[in-house]
Amino acid sequence: MKNRRFIRHFLYSILAIIFFQTGGSPFLVPLSQAEESEALTLSSAMDQALKNNPLIRITLSGREIAEAQLKEARAGWLPLLQFNETFTRSNNPVFAFGSLLEQARFGPQDFGISALNNPDPLSNFRTAINLRQALFDQLQTVTRVNQARLGQQQADLQKSLVEQQIRFEVIRSYYGVLVAHTRKEVTEEAVTMAESDVKRSRDRFQNGLVVESDLLAAEVQLAEFRQQRIDAEGDVAVAYAALNTVLGISDDTPQKVTGDLADKRFEAEKKEDLIRLALLHRPDYVRSGYNIQANKEGVAGAKREYLPRLDLFGNYGMSGKDMSSGSSDYTIGASLTFSIFDSGRSARIRKARAAESMATAEQEHLANQIRLEVVRAFQQHISARERLAVAGQVIDQATETHRIVQNRYREGLTTITEVLRAQTALVRARLNLVAARYDHYVSYAHVLLSVGKLTGVEPFLS
């Protein structure tokens, strides 16, 4: 009985501990949201950004606008049907005479001079259905349809451009998180190493083997490494906020980023080939070509205003003294309109030609900017690749130098200054290697973006 009571109290104690630690929810072990969420890979981050980033929604809205403009332009080929209800009350002689005829209520008594000149007020309810069809509208509908189709293609290219820009930002921010974590790890290891040196220097100082300045120098080095660790922790928070912003979610959303900056080498094509590819594949450059075509259509549309216009129209109506009675009538006809003199027509042609000239100049300016951007991206990639090669060599040298200096210091063959200098050089070399790898990744992504070929993340996957 005593054993059973002891076991029962023991179980109750365990449940109470779980209850209070879980905030009042027993049997639920609290996990951070980052642990509960799935690991975020580069591919999943890209998919999420292309789905949630506000820029994507903007481009999709632009595509919807282009589709609506095309439908609106095509409506010019369809008839216009309108319903009209009008109420009029007046004692105007012409109105009274005509309304009586429309209502089929005109009689012999209405021929009196007094009735014709001074009629009583008359009410007329007119219900009508009007139909109008443009048989030839100076080809203005053709112009608007062609421009709307070009607008659709421009909207598609804008979407492609934005998607590539988002891919670049995802690559930069995703690997920025990995770099921030690596920097934090390097600084934490540096702090641990410096703490060990401080302890060893303090012991040696207390035993009279070194002077106090050696201990103070080691403590200064430790303080510097701790400051770097604090900065690295802040960089991690900023990196996650930047990544979440690109993903289109709250900046404080917990993430569990996986992967590493593997030692990869990206090879770009020759500069001349990159420029040629950019002028073929850059969405913004291709879009500028469609913009020129749209303005050429505008010039053609302005010139087509010299053509005549032919419309077919018809209406069916009913007029009565109230809504429940009346007489019906119909009208059909056609109208041919030719503008003999329109002072604004020549101005509209000059305006359209100026817009075409401006679009052509803008394309030339864009071509120059693209060439410059490709050259800059290419040179940055070359520099990053060379810095990576140098950083890889320096890290081995710095590691070996630190090991030798540490051994010499233990044997009393060198000073603490040399040890601290070797530590600083090793930490700097490790940080430079991480930065060089990051720059190598991002610079290659920038090269692909500059030529309009950043259509996926496959080159960056391990």
**Residue-wise DSSP of 287-331:** HHHHHHHHHHHHHHHHHGGGS-EEEEEEEEEEEESSTT--EEEEE
Cα separation, 160 vs 290, in Å, equals 15
37 confidence band (pLDDT: 50, 70, 90): low
- Mean pLDDT of the chain, nearest integer: 86
Sign of CA dihedral 300, 305, 310, 315: positive
Q: Is the pLDDT of residue 203 over 90?
A: no
Q: Stretch 332-352: mean pLDDT, rounded?
A: 93
Rounded-to-5 percentages of helix, strand, coil across the chain = 70, 10, 20
Q: Is the pLDDT of residue 188 over 70?
A: yes
Q: Is the pLDDT of residue 24 over 50?
A: no
Exposed e or buried b per residue across 93-115, where buried means at least 16 C-beta atoms within 10 angstroms of its C-beta: eebbbebbebbebeeeeeeeeeb
Q: Which amino acid, residue 381? A: H
Cα separation, 432 vs 440, in Å, equals 12
Query: Which residues touch 24 (CB under 8 Å, ≥6 apart)?
Result: none
Segment of 27-36, 70-79, 247-256 carrying the highest mean pLDDT? 70-79
6 confidence band (pLDDT: 50, 70, 90): very low
Reading the block at residue 244, the tokens are 């979440």
Q: How high is the pLDDT of residue 383? A: 94
Query: Any idea what the Cα angle at residue 236 is, between residues 234 and 240, rounded to 5°?
Result: 120
Q: How high is the pLDDT of residue 384? A: 93
Q: Is the pLDDT of residue 331 over 90?
A: yes
Q: How high is the pLDDT of residue 261? A: 80
Query: Which residues touch 126 (CB under 8 Å, ≥6 apart)?
Result: 84, 85, 86, 87, 88, 102, 317, 318, 319
Residue 69's CB is within 10 A of a number of other CB atoms, namely 18
pLDDT, tens only, 303-319:
999 999 999 999 999 99
Please indicate whether residue 26 or residue 261 has the higher confidence score (pLDDT): 261
Please indicate whether residue 178 or residue 324 has the higher confidence score (pLDDT): 178
Which secondary structure element, helix H or strand E, spans residue 334, and what is its range? strand 327-337
Q: How high is the pLDDT of residue 462? A: 64
Cα separation, 105 vs 98, in Å, equals 10
Reading the block at residue 298, the tokens are 């505008």
Reading the block at residue 60, the tokens are 């999709």
CB 95 within 8 A of CB 88: yes
Q: Stretch 327-331: mean pLDDT, rounded?
A: 90
Reading the block at residue 21, the tokens are 């630690």
Query: Which residues touch 201 (CB under 8 Å, ≥6 apart)?
Result: 210, 214, 215, 218, 416
**Backbone phi, psi, residue 39, to 5°:** -65, 140
Q: Stretch 226-241: mean pLDDT, rounded?
A: 91
Q: Stretch 179-206: mean pLDDT, rounded?
A: 84
Which residue is associated with the tokens 């104690």? 13
Residue 89, beta-bridge partner list: 123
DSSP three-state, residue 124: strand
Q: Is the pLDDT of residue 206 over 50?
A: yes
CA 375 to chain centre: 25
375 confidence band (pLDDT: 50, 70, 90): very high
Q: Stretch 207-216: mean pLDDT, rounded?
A: 76
CB 374 within 8 A of CB 296: no
The arrangement of strands across the sheet holding 80-90 comes to 80-90, 122-137, 309-320, 327-337
Please indicate whether residue 109 or residue 150 has the higher confidence score (pLDDT): 150
Please indicate whether residue 185 or residue 293 has the higher confidence score (pLDDT): 293
22 confidence band (pLDDT: 50, 70, 90): very low
Q: Which of 447, 446, 147, 157 has the alpha carbon at shortest distance from 286?
A: 157
pTM: 0.80
CB 441 within 8 A of CB 427: no
